[in-house]
């Protein structure tokens, strides 16, 4: 979320999480609702089209890697929230 989303009348910030500059609650405005209603089915179709091009083994490997990626993202997010990210873990 950034100022351009609010200027485009897609969202309205409603509240921020205390002590965090990263987390905020927003209200999705009517134009934002319409865009989401168009975007979500299109993204789902794109995902289905991509998956259809993969073999069963490729799909299995992709799902395995995505599970691993989600776990890593969760761990890094928790560490950043706790302030315990090691500088060696940060990308260059």
Q: Which domain holds residue 13?
A: 1-53
pLDDT number for residue 65: 96
Shared domain for 17 and 39, answered yes or no, is yes
Half-sphere exposure of 15 (CA within 13 A, CB side): 2
Shared domain for 85 and 49, answered yes or no, is no
Measure the CA–CA gap between 22 and 1, rounded to whole angstroms: 9
Shared domain for 41 and 12, answered yes or no, is yes
Measure the CA–CA gap between 43 and 67, rounded to whole angstroms: 20
Shared domain for 49 and 68, answered yes or no, is no
Query: pLDDT tens digits for 55-83?
Result: 999 999 999 999 999 999 998 888 888 88
Query: pLDDT tens digits for 16-46?
Result: 666 666 667 888 999 999 999 999 999 999 9
Shared domain for 17 and 42, answered yes or no, is yes
Query: pLDDT tens digits for 51-62?
Result: 999 999 999 999
Shared domain for 8 and 49, answered yes or no, is yes
Pair of tokens at residue 34: 């319409």
Shared domain for 15 and 46, answered yes or no, is yes
pLDDT number for residue 91: 59
């Amino acid at each position: 979320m950034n100022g351009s989303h609010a200027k485009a009348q897609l969202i309205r910030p409603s509240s921020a999480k205390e002590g965090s500059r990263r987390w905020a609650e927003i209200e999705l405005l009517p134009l934002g609702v319409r865009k989401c209603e168009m975007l979500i089915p299109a993204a789902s179709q794109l995902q289905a089209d991509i998956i259809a091009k993969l073999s069963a083994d490729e799909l299995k490997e992709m799902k395995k890697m995505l599970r691993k990626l989600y776990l890593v993202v969760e761990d890094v997010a928790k560490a950043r929230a706790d302030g315990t990210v090691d500088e060696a873990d940060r990308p260059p």
